[in-house]
Amino acid sequence: NAGVMQNPRHLVRRRGQEARLRCSPMKGHSHVYWYRQLPEEGLKFMVYLQKENIIDESGMPKERFSAEFPKEGPSILRIQQVVRGDSAAYFCASSRAGTVNTEAFFGQGTRLTVV
Amino acid sequence: GENVGLHLPTLSVQEGDNSIINCAYSNSASDYFIWYKQESGKGPQFIIDIRSNMDKRQGQRVTVLLNKTVKHLSLQIAATQPGDSAVYFCAEKGPYDYKLSFGAGTTVTVRA
């Protein structure tokens, strides 16, 4: 049973380009969470999605950032017109149900570098 | 993340000794706590969790203690091994909440 799969593992973008980060949840999981980790810091919640629905995007910047979790395919975190401050590790987690009562498993992350 | 923190950013431990990693939280409504281990270049790995109706829980070589009176959480690792070298995060969430709040992490280095 494969774990949470994220790709790419490393992504380099120039300022102003778009970054697309993908996350395939564990088999049987329909809840996806995106977190961002800056160097030397803990993870910060960004967005929580279920299939075809954004449940909570309170941690995601209002501009340039968007997320989706379509009926088919992986969840996508999209960052438009990237800036240097977007450089971070982006982690996706998935759970079978909302993590009120269940554990969320994390992927290996995508490390975004904006040059 | 702002409600959860760790007392020490780094901890150096002799191989074979026991490790104690501490975490303070400020949200008294939190009722679920998790310890994660993160190795370099990898994602957080679940170690152990505890709910607020408990004050102690044991796993394989690890024990989590919860003191709700002083809002303190600790992770004890018995007979620390080189493979335990990593950054350790505590995370918490409140009832009916689904997002975790993480502390800044403690870097554990095991000396041979």
Residues of B contacting chain A (CB within 8 angstroms): 1, 4, 34, 36, 41-46, 49, 89, 91, 93, 95-105
Cα B76 to chain centroid distance, Å, stands at 8
Residue B34 three-state SS? strand
Q: Are B97 and A56 in contact (CB under 8 A)?
A: no
Q: Which residues pair with B64 in a beta bridge?
A: B57, B75
Contacts across the A-B interface (CB distance below 8 Å)? 62
Q: Which amino acid is at B57?
A: R
Q: Which residues pair with A68 in a beta bridge?
A: A76
Residues 6+ apart with CB under 8 A from A96: A28, A29, A30, A31, A102
Of residues A6, A44, A56, nearest to B1 (C-beta): A44
Express each pLDDT in B57-99 by its tens digit.
999 999 999 999 999 999 999 999 999 999 999 999 888 777 8
* Minimum Cα–Cα distance from B89: chain A residue: A42
**Interface contact A100-B43, CB threshold 8 A:** no
* Minimum Cα–Cα distance from B30: chain A residue: A100
Q: Return d(Cα A18, Cα A66) in angstroms, integer.
A: 11
**Local confidence band at B100 (pLDDT 50, 70, 90 cut-offs):** confident
Express each pLDDT in B40-51 by its tens digit.
989 999 999 999
Question: In angstroms, what CA-CA distances link B10 with A40, A84, B43?
Answer: 11, 28, 19
According to DSSP H, which parts of chain B are helical? none
What is the pLDDT at residue B8?
Answer: 66
Q: What is the mean pLDDT of chain B?
A: 89
Mean pLDDT of A86-105: 81
What is the pLDDT at residue B3?
Answer: 44
Express each pLDDT in A32-72 by its tens digit.
999 999 987 889 999 999 999 999 999 999 999 999 999 99
Q: Which residues pair with A36 in a beta bridge?
A: A44, A90
What is the pLDDT at residue A53?
Answer: 94
Exposure letters B76-88 (e unless 16+ CB within 10 A, then b): bbeebeeebbbbb
Whether residue A2 lies within 8 A of chain B, CB to CB, comes out as no
The CA-CA-CA angle for residues A16, A22, A25, to 5°, reads 155
Looking up tokens 């975490």, which residue turns up?
A: B23
**Local confidence band at A98 (pLDDT 50, 70, 90 cut-offs):** low
